[in-house]
Amino acid sequence: MSNLVSRCGIDCSACPWGPYPRKDMTAEDFEIFRNNAKRILGYMPIKTPCVTCQTPDTEIPKESRLPNKKCLIRRCVDKNGVTNCAYCSRFPCETLNETAGAWNRETVEARIGESISEEDYHLFVEPFEGIRRLEALRASIKPDEIVEPKKVSTSRKRIDNFPENLPFSKEESASFKAVYMLLKTLNECSLEMKDTDTFAQKHKLENLRAHVLRFLWIVGSCGKLENEKRPYIVIEAGKYLANRGSEKRLAIWSFVRNAIFNVLSEVGVCCERIALKGVKKKDLTTGTGYLRYKGWAIKIFFEERIGGAATLKAFQKYTVRLAKKYGKKAFKHFSTVKMQILTEN
């Protein structure tokens, strides 16, 4: 095994983004190599090579885009004082699985819809089989070399109490209270994640929470309530994407489907993406999995266990009120469940 293994198990000595594979290539050969990488992996290796994961943060040149100093795995491994994740007692945590476990022959072939040659596999896929590499390493590590990661405290936002004496009927007040409970739960629970006492998982949880709340905010404040037999809120592609601000991940379909929709279904919010009439499902995303600006819409409805249609209506009323009063600052009030606005006429 190469001794140039990244914190997450990638082989830096063979990585197309790193300095080694391109070392003896002519400019022309490197262009062909980059384009082949893009064809197989969906991303184009950058021209200025990564200085590799083994380079300490203090020695990474300012202009270097890689390795990413903000990478949660890199920071978690460094905080725990281990060489890579194979030495951690929580190996493989979800953060690691999601990145280092995402790339292998099967996932790549499924994405591009064809099988890849042995040569392409060795050049472009094998370097990224991080989990497989770390598992092999783990098998050779003695039990007393495995380290328990340093525990980090969970940071909780302070959520105000639900305001009393709202100027609404008893039933409507109960629906606003249900909205409050839903948002409070999303702020306080671990969103089904494990190991949230580790650096990587804690930050992953905070990121996920922020994305889930932002998603709900966009749908609630910009979507349209449709009053059919079973009321739902619907938002079309363009409006959804235009309101996601700098939240790049909210445009990645696999993230929206696997992370956001799943978390929300656990708390009684059902979400689905629908293809508009005449649009094929395969045309809803780009080749790299980003949602396209048209052709689909997202629908959400609330299950009876959280109050169904009445809570959905209260949810939209609350978000629209916040948006009207606070404009660009409204999301901050929403994400910290500030409901005092409901006491105003």
Kindly list the residues in this chain that would bind ligand SF4 in the complex (CB under 6 A).
Answer: 6, 10, 12, 15, 17-18, 50, 52-53, 66-67, 73, 76-77, 80, 85, 88, 90-93, 95-96, 149, 198, 200
Q: For the chain, what's the residue count?
A: 345
Choice between 21 and 223, CB closer to ligand SF4: 21
| Nearest approach, Cβ of residue 62 and ligand SF4 (Å) | 16
Biggest CA–CA distance in the chain, Å, is 75
Beta strands per DSSP E along the chain: 224-226, 232-236, 269-275, 296-302
Burial class (CB in 10 A: 0-12, 13-18, 19+), 210: middle
Cis peptide before 56 (omega within 30 of 0): no
Choice between 66 and 208, CB closer to ligand SF4: 66
| Nearest approach, Cβ of residue 13 and ligand SF4 (Å) | 8
- Per DSSP, the three-state class of 162 is coil
| Nearest approach, Cβ of residue 122 and ligand SF4 (Å) | 15
| Nearest approach, Cβ of residue 33 and ligand SF4 (Å) | 14
- With beta carbons less than 8 A apart as the criterion, state whether 40 and 109 touch: no
Choice between 80 and 285, CB closer to ligand SF4: 80
Choice between 70 and 328, CB closer to ligand SF4: 70
Choice between 51 and 174, CB closer to ligand SF4: 51
> Whole-angstrom Cα distance, residue 85 to residue 76?
9
| Residue 177 structure tokens | 């209270």
| Nearest approach, Cβ of residue 282 and ligand SF4 (Å) | 30
Choice between 201 and 319, CB closer to ligand SF4: 201
| Nearest approach, Cβ of residue 80 and ligand SF4 (Å) | 5
Q: Which neighbouring-strand residues pair with 224? A: 234
Q: With CA atoms as reference, report the closest residue to 221 among 239, 203, 237.
A: 239
| Nearest approach, Cβ of residue 130 and ligand SF4 (Å) | 8
Choice between 98 and 109, CB closer to ligand SF4: 98
| Nearest approach, Cβ of residue 313 and ligand SF4 (Å) | 42
Q: What is the secondary structure of 6-56 as a DSSP string? A: -TTS-BTTT-TTSSSTTTT--HHHHHHHHHHHHHHHSSPPPSS----TTS-
Residues whose CB is less than 8 angstroms from the CB of residue 150 and which lie 6 or more positions away in sequence, other chains included: 79, 80, 198, 199
| Residue keyed to tokens 């209260």 | 314
- Per DSSP, the three-state class of 279 is coil
Choice between 35 and 265, CB closer to ligand SF4: 35
